[in-house]
Chains A and B, each alone.
Chain A
Amino acid sequence: MYKVLSTYTGPLQWNTTTVPEDLLWYMTATFLFLTLAYLSSVFYFRNRINNKTSREAGRKKELAPMISKFLFYTEEDPLEARQEYVQLKIQIRQLLKDGLTRTVLSEVLRDLKKDVSGSARKELLNLYSDLGLQENAIKRLRSSKWQVLSGAILELTQMEIKEAYGLIKKHINHRRSVVRKQAQIATVSLKNEGINYFLDSNRYPISEWQQLKLLDVIRHLEGFEPPKFKNWLTSKNTDVVLFALRLIKYYKQNDAAKAIIRLVNHKNQHIRIEAIQCIREFNLQEAVDTLKKAFSKGNEEVKLLILDSIGLLGDLSDIHFLQNIANNSSTHIISGKALSVINTLKPETILPDEGIETTKEIINTAPQDKPENMKQKEKEALSVHLPKPDLPKNPEQWEDFLDPDFEDELIFSQCCLEEFRDLIQEIGEPLLKSGDPGTLPLDFLPLVISEAKEEIQETATPKQPTTENSSGPTYNCDYPLHAEERITREIEALLEIEIEGKPEQEEDDAFNLNFLPILVDDPGIPEEEDMGDPDLRSIEVIAETLRYKVPEAFDRADKPTENYSLQVPPEESFEAVKAIDWSAIASKNLEVSMEKKEKAVISGKLEDQEELYGFSIFQELFRTADTESKLILLDEVLAVGDEKEVYFLKTLSDDPSELVQKKASKILADLSKQLEQQKSKEEPVVVSGARVNEQAVPDVLFELSFEPEEDCFRDPDEDEPELIARRSKQPVEKKAENPGNFLGNFISLTHKILEKVYG
């Protein structure tokens, strides 16, 4: 500190002793004066402002009721009110000679205009004009002070003085931005054609905020008809072009397509963006090529907008362009956008590959389905899983992948499979409920196969080991099928309904003679020998011939099957069966069966006997009968039984009831005697006109117990009464004479059982 003071050496080194006392007093007096002058000036101006404010407030209080009376005056008011109104008008005109009053009245009216609406507002504007308050504002338009000028423009604009339009519009290119903006708004708002003048004459930039304000002014103009803003798209002022584009978009003036498309290539990025927005707004699809060309010149915002627009307006032909962008763009946003637009144009072309785990397909290891999972499985089975074209990971291969021809193939296959899927869902759903969930819903296919065929397949023909079940092809595809292969297989499965296309299937469906047990079931005769038997071959030849000549055969048919207890294949097979020369077949079969029977008797095998003599009806009844019923049934066996029952009775030696065993052995002995007695009598049997030995022809294949009715051979000259009398006796006599009639005996047996059960 000392050092600092000591270093301060100047020409005037004053100290208390050296400063002149007069000078100090002089300076003090000067500061005091300045202080007083300042304080007094503040006081003066404060009082002046307060006075002015108070005077204005006083004038406002004085003018406010007068204004109210002016606003709510009507010519319907009473005479006193009208007189008061006239006097008030005179009074206010005198007051307006004072400048302050004019200013105050103008302020009051402008303030009130903001707070009132409706008719009161219109009256306010009229009052302003009537009192000539605008003249003061118009005078101020000539002021060189920008704040005065701006205030005057604002007042004239608020009070909607259209006469000032010509004076105000000159200021739209004022060097002061405040005046300029105020003048622009006034020009646009005072007259509808003001916007034209503004767009034509404006040389300065138009800020975003100013554009919004101008648009807001235009929107609220009464009776405003927007001009064709395309006329200003050629303006040299880029802000005018930009504003015109926005107005075009706002008023949806889509008659400037070419100009708008051309502006996509404008140097100004804002104009580009606005032009692209217009293109999107007006859906200008012809602009897509221009957008593609302009893509490289735009900034990121423009590029994203162009990609979006291509997604909106483009088609499949633009995918190449988008692929190139996705490949070549260094910006992640742009490439990602390009890929998303590809998916927009062609859904699911690009599939997500990031973070996707690869899963192995499990083959034939599906766990046993729980019942609750079955419904879900059924739903899944209903939907045919269509092959989705996966885009190659390497983008360079996309071009090949998206080859137009290949695209057509894909689209075609997709359409085929969609149709196929719809068909499956229509007809397959109800049938699927009982089907294997792992298969395609084609279980309805076996419906066209006769029951006879199914039974034959179960009993006579062993099933061939195959991957496809009898109900249709199974699509448990453990290997990936090519799309075309899958389509072919699925359509083939559908077409199996049409038998013509499948010769082997047709053979099974049309007619099958495998129901003849003698062909396969005789263990004594090898199967190949059976097939080589000329007699049997002749039967097959007959059937084979009939298969293809059913109509002709049907015409010649004698309908012999009506009297056979033969298991006949239903429907279409039935007609073919009708056409067979049954007498010839029966003769041959009987001869064969006789030979087989003799062999079986010699071998003495019970199984052979059962197969030879047939199945006893009592066997089925015995399964559900109790001991008492069995004893009754045994009595009936003796009454109606034949050789079939011999074997059946022998099997009863193993019955759990001793009573049944004893009675069965007794009945067996009696029945054997009875049959021996019957064998001693040799009676002829008629089989469709051919006579055979009944003893030698048991009912192995057919029940051949039918006989022609006597009426068929009666004498035409016989008297009618005699015939009636004979017919009335016939049933009883027939039953007595022919106890071996199986059907009649069975019915009587049923009656006896019912009597026993129900008393």
Chain B
Amino acid sequence: MVKKHLLLAEDDELLASLLEYRLKLAGFEVILAQDGKEVKEYLSKETPDIIVSDIMMPYFSGIELVDFLRNTLHSQIPVIVISTAGNEENVLSAFELGANDFIAKPVNPSELLVRVNRELNKA
């Protein structure tokens, strides 16, 4: 069975490590990116099956990432954004630009996994 490629863009190493471990346990091939530059570099070379991105990242925010994907690369890769609770404006902006789903911090790893699988099934 071919593993699904998941790009996880999260600047918090601890949380990224925790989520990476959980997603790998679920059978995903996880690619970690700690800032927007790494995400751009990866997207210029590869095309993941799904992207899980924090909104607040150095160099390149999650909203800019969605905008870059939808309007520059014209890619329809599913994107799930992670944001702190109460940051409604950013979440709405991400949805307007084409984000597929949203999950709030503190993140429940099990919930994230469910949402990832749902988006992949839709695609």
| A120–B15 alpha-carbon span in the complex (Å) | 12
B25 interface residue, CB < 8 Å from A? Answer: yes
| A121–B22 alpha-carbon span in the complex (Å) | 14
Contact between B107 and A64 (Cβ–Cβ < 8 Å)?
no
Contact between A112 and B21 (Cβ–Cβ < 8 Å)?
no
Write the nearest CB–CB distance from A65 to chain B, whole angstroms.
6
**A618-668 interface with B by 8 A CB criterion:** none
Contact between A65 and B17 (Cβ–Cβ < 8 Å)?
yes
A31 interface residue, CB < 8 Å from B? Answer: no
| A118–B111 alpha-carbon span in the complex (Å) | 9
Write the nearest CB–CB distance from A213 to chain B, whole angstroms.
18
- Chain A residues with CB under 8 Å of B105's CB are 115
Write the nearest CB–CB distance from B62 to chain A, whole angstroms.
16
Contact between A68 and B17 (Cβ–Cβ < 8 Å)?
yes
- Chain B residues with CB under 8 Å of A60's CB are 13-14
- Chain B residues with CB under 8 Å of A69's CB are 21
**A68-112 interface with B by 8 A CB criterion:** 68-69, 71-72, 108, 111-112
- Chain B residues with CB under 8 Å of A112's CB are 14-15, 18
Write the nearest CB–CB distance from A332 to chain B, whole angstroms.
42
- Chain A residues with CB under 8 Å of B110's CB are 118-120
Q: Which chain B residue has the least Cβ–Cβ distance from A107?
A: B14
B96 interface residue, CB < 8 Å from A? Answer: no
A117 interface residue, CB < 8 Å from B? Answer: yes
Q: Which chain A residue has the least Cβ–Cβ distance from B17?
A: A64
- Chain A residues with CB under 8 Å of B107's CB are 115-117
| Cβ proximity bits B90-117 to A, threshold 8 Å, 1 near / 0 not | 0000000000000001111111000000
Given contacts A60-B13, A61-B13, A121-B106, contact A116 B18 (CB under 8 A): yes
Contact between A68 and B21 (Cβ–Cβ < 8 Å)?
yes
A264 interface residue, CB < 8 Å from B? Answer: no
Q: Which chain A residue has the least Cβ–Cβ distance from B15?
A: A115
Q: Determine which of B20, B25, B106 lies in contact with A116 in the assembled complex, contact meaning CB atoms within 8 Å.
A: B106
Q: Which chain A residue has the least Cβ–Cβ distance from B18?
A: A68
Q: Determine which of B14, B106, B111 lies in contact with A64 in the assembled complex, contact meaning CB atoms within 8 Å.
A: B14
B38 interface residue, CB < 8 Å from A? Answer: no
- Chain B residues with CB under 8 Å of A120's CB are 18, 108-110
Q: Which chain B residue has the least Cβ–Cβ distance from A115?
A: B15
Given contacts A72-B25, A115-B12, contact A64 B108 (CB under 8 A): no
Q: Which chain B residue has the least Cβ–Cβ distance from A118?
A: B108
Q: Which of B14, B21, B25: most chain A Cβ within 10 A?
A: B14
A3 interface residue, CB < 8 Å from B? Answer: no
**B1-34 interface with A by 8 A CB criterion:** 12-15, 17-18, 20-22, 25
- Chain B residues with CB under 8 Å of A61's CB are 13, 17
Q: Determine which of A72, A108, A117 lies in contact with B106 in the assembled complex, contact meaning CB atoms within 8 Å.
A: A117
| A600–B18 alpha-carbon span in the complex (Å) | 132
Q: Determine which of A71, A114, A119 lies in contact with B18 in the assembled complex, contact meaning CB atoms within 8 Å.
A: A71
- Chain B residues with CB under 8 Å of A116's CB are 15, 18, 106-109
Q: Count CB-based A-B contacts (< 8 Å).
A: 55
| Cβ proximity bits B20-54 to A, threshold 8 Å, 1 near / 0 not | 11100100000000000000000000000000000
Q: Which chain A residue has the least Cβ–Cβ distance from B108?
A: A118
- Chain A residues with CB under 8 Å of B15's CB are 112, 115-116
A577 interface residue, CB < 8 Å from B? Answer: no
Q: Which of B18, B21, B22, B108: most chain A Cβ within 10 A?
A: B18
Q: Which of A71, A115, A121: most chain B Cβ within 10 A?
A: A115
Contact between A65 and B109 (Cβ–Cβ < 8 Å)?
no
A244 interface residue, CB < 8 Å from B? Answer: no
| A60–B12 alpha-carbon span in the complex (Å) | 12
**A17-72 interface with B by 8 A CB criterion:** 60-61, 64-65, 67-69, 71-72
Write the nearest CB–CB distance from A291 to chain B, whole angstroms.
40
Write the nearest CB–CB distance from B45 to chain A, whole angstroms.
25
Q: Which of A72, A116, A121: most chain B Cβ within 10 A?
A: A116
Q: Which chain B residue has the least Cβ–Cβ distance from A119?
A: B110
| A98–B14 alpha-carbon span in the complex (Å) | 21
- Chain A residues with CB under 8 Å of B18's CB are 64, 67-68, 71, 112, 115-116, 120
Q: Determine which of B20, B21, B22, B106 lies in contact with A115 in the assembled complex, contact meaning CB atoms within 8 Å.
A: B106
- Chain B residues with CB under 8 Å of A121's CB are 106
| A120–B110 alpha-carbon span in the complex (Å) | 9
Contact between A117 and B21 (Cβ–Cβ < 8 Å)?
no
Q: Which chain A residue has the least Cβ–Cβ distance from B22?
A: A72
Q: Determine which of A68, A114, A117 lies in contact with B22 in the assembled complex, contact meaning CB atoms within 8 Å.
A: A68
| A117–B12 alpha-carbon span in the complex (Å) | 16
Q: Determine which of A65, A114, A119 lies in contact with B21 in the assembled complex, contact meaning CB atoms within 8 Å.
A: A65
Write the nearest CB–CB distance from A63 to chain B, whole angstroms.
9
| A20–B73 alpha-carbon span in the complex (Å) | 77
| Cβ proximity bits A530-547 to B, threshold 8 Å, 1 near / 0 not | 000000000000000000
Given contacts A72-B21, A72-B22, A72-B25, contact A111 B106 (CB under 8 A): no
| A121–B110 alpha-carbon span in the complex (Å) | 12
Write the nearest CB–CB distance from A84 to chain B, whole angstroms.
13
Q: A65-B17, A115-B18, A118-B111 are in contact. List 7 more A-B contacts (CB 8 A).
A: A65-B21, A68-B17, A68-B21, A71-B18, A72-B22, A112-B14, A118-B110
A-B contact pairs, 18 of them (CB 8 A): A64-B14, A68-B18, A69-B21, A72-B22, A111-B14, A115-B12, A115-B18, A115-B105, A115-B106, A115-B107, A116-B15, A116-B18, A116-B109, A117-B106, A118-B110, A118-B111, A119-B108, A121-B106
